[in-house]
């Protein structure tokens, strides 16, 4: 009887193993047929990041995990660096937790890329040893574009390439929890203070100093729409096709020691074409030398509150600006078509790392 039970147990294990192999083969075949050739190549900067990883760590290095979260970039990373490429969100990998949003994603390529990358990590025993320190986890910035919370788990590794820092399990879980909350609420400002030192750029007394560059814009101080500040700025502007309309706060700021800039935005628009929000930090009295960050995400204009934080080092530059000498902070709306933009701004802050 015991021999029969053992035999049946072995048969069951073999059957399960065969089923796993068949499913994996079918999945692999389907993925290769549908997604073997990436349609859109990464930017030149993204390709340079992959070239740097290959030059410094070699091809098919099974002690290196390259993290991306664009399905096309996933295939390019496999081609350029080989080895272990994780498609998904960095903090889920570090915490060794399943990302059910990607696992059940309605986009077949996204779901397949995530499952495929997890299967490979599982096959090589990586997930079991993810906390062992045996693996170097690299994040090419342009191919991943980490946000302010993910940056708290990263350190510079090379030219536009970041490396995951060693964090204890509690720190990983807390950071993942803060990140999930920020993603679900669209608010990266609130959890920021747990990791960096936050400073206000403009108190309520300064808000009447905001002015517009056109007569078709109304600017007024309004009540707060979050619990972070007592006041906000309410702007209604009509933007003609191809124009950029700014609201401006003049002042003097030294941002040389700051790492991030953030604010709350709540807005709607009637524009149906391409449009964007610009944040410009002017380093002179004209528009010769400045830093600029462009926000093209149309979901920012859904009427909900969004807490936005960006790295100052990732702003584009024009001329020779100087962060230690900023003379105006400006928010501008560009629209390819005529449109009305009704929005509120609040809690303009800077922040720098505490570690």
Both 51 and 161 in a single domain?
Answer: yes
Residue 38 is predicted with a pLDDT of 56
Q: Which of 154, 185, 216 is the last residue of a domain?
A: 185
Please, which pLDDT band fits residue 39 given cuts at 50, 70 and 90? Answer: low
Both 281 and 144 in a single domain?
Answer: no
Residue 159 is predicted with a pLDDT of 86
Using H for helix, E for strand and C for coil, what is the string for the chain? CHHHHHHHHHHHHHHHHHHHHHHHHHHHHHHHHHHCCCCCCCCHHHHHHHHHHHHHHCCCCCCEEEEECCHHHHHHHHHHCCCEEEECCHHHHHHCCCCHHHHCCCCHHHHHHHHHHHHHHHHCCCHHHCCCCCCEEEEEHHHHCCCCCHHHHEEEEECCEEEECCCCHHHHHHHHHHHHHHHHHCECCHHHHHCEEEEECCCHHHHHHCEECCCCEEEEEEECCCCCCCEEEEEEEEECCCCEEEEEEEEEECCCCCCEEEEEEEEEECCCCCEEEEEEEECCCCCCCEEEEEECCHHHHCCCCEEEEEEHHHCEEECCCCCCCEEEEEEEEEECCCEEEEEEEEEEEEEEECC
329 falls within a domain: yes
Give me the number of domains the chain comprises: 2
Both 285 and 151 in a single domain?
Answer: no
308 falls within a domain: yes
Q: Which of 150, 185, 220 is the last residue of a domain?
A: 185
Both 180 and 205 in a single domain?
Answer: no
Whether the pLDDT of residue 1 is over 60: the answer is no
CATH number for position 227: 2.60.120.260
Whether the pLDDT of residue 18 is over 50: the answer is no
Both 51 and 151 in a single domain?
Answer: yes
Please, which pLDDT band fits residue 213 given cuts at 50, 70 and 90? Answer: confident
**How high does pLDDT run on average in the chain?**
88
pTM recorded for the entire structure:
0.81
Whether the pLDDT of residue 261 is over 60: the answer is yes
Both 252 and 313 in a single domain?
Answer: yes
More confident residue, 229 or 306: 306
Residue 232 is predicted with a pLDDT of 95
Both 230 and 265 in a single domain?
Answer: yes
Q: Each residue of 121-174: pLDDT tens digit?
A: 999 999 988 988 899 999 999 999 999 999 999 999 988 999 999 999 999 999
Whether the pLDDT of residue 34 is over 80: the answer is no
Whether the pLDDT of residue 32 is over 70: the answer is no
Residue 278: which domain range? Answer: 198-353
Residue 40 is predicted with a pLDDT of 73
Both 173 and 76 in a single domain?
Answer: yes
């Amino acid at each position: 009887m015991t021999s029969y039970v053992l035999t049946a147990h072995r048969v069951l294990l073999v059957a399960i193993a065969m089923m796993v192999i068949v499913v994996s083969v079918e999945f692999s075949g389907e993925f290769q047929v549908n997604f073997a050739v990436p349609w859109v190549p990464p930017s030149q900067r993204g390709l340079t990041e992959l070239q740097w990883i290959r030059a410094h760590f070699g091809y098919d290095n099974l002690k290196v995990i390259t993290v991306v979260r664009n399905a096309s970039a996933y295939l390019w990373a496999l081609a350029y660096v080989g080895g272990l490429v994780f498609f998904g969100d960095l903090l889920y990998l570090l915490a060794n937790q399943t990302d059910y949003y990607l696992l059940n994603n309605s986009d077949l390529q996204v779901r397949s890329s995530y499952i495929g990358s997890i299967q490979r990590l599982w096959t090589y025993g990586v997930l079991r040893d993810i906390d062992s320190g045996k693996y170097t986890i690299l994040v090419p910035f342009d191919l991943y574009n980490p946000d302010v919370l993910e940056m708290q788990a990263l350190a510079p590794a090379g030219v536009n390439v970041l490396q995951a820092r060693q964090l204890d399990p509690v720190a990983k879980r807390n950071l993942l929890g803060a990140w999930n909350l920020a993603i679900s609420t669209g608010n990266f400002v609130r959890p920021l203070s747990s990791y960096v030192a936050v400073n206000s750029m403009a108190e309520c007394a300064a808000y009447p100093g905001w002015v517009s560059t056109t007569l078709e814009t109304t600017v007024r101080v309004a009540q707060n729409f979050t619990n972070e500040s007592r006041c906000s700025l309410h702007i209604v502007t009509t933007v003609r096709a191809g124009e950029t309309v700014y609201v401006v706060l003049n002042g003097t700021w030294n941002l040389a020691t700051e790492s991030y800039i953030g604010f709350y935005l709540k807005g709607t628009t009637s524009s149906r074409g391409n449009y964007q929000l610009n944040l410009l930090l002017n380093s002179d009295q004209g528009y010769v030398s400045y830093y600029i960050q462009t926000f093209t995400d149309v979901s920012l204009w859904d009427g909900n509150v969004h807490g936005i934080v960006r790295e100052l080092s990732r702003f584009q530059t024009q001329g020779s600006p100087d962060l230690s000498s900023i003379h105006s902070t400006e928010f501008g709306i560009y629209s390819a078509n005529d449109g009305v933009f009704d929005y509120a701004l609040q809690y303009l802050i800077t922040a720098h790392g505490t570690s």
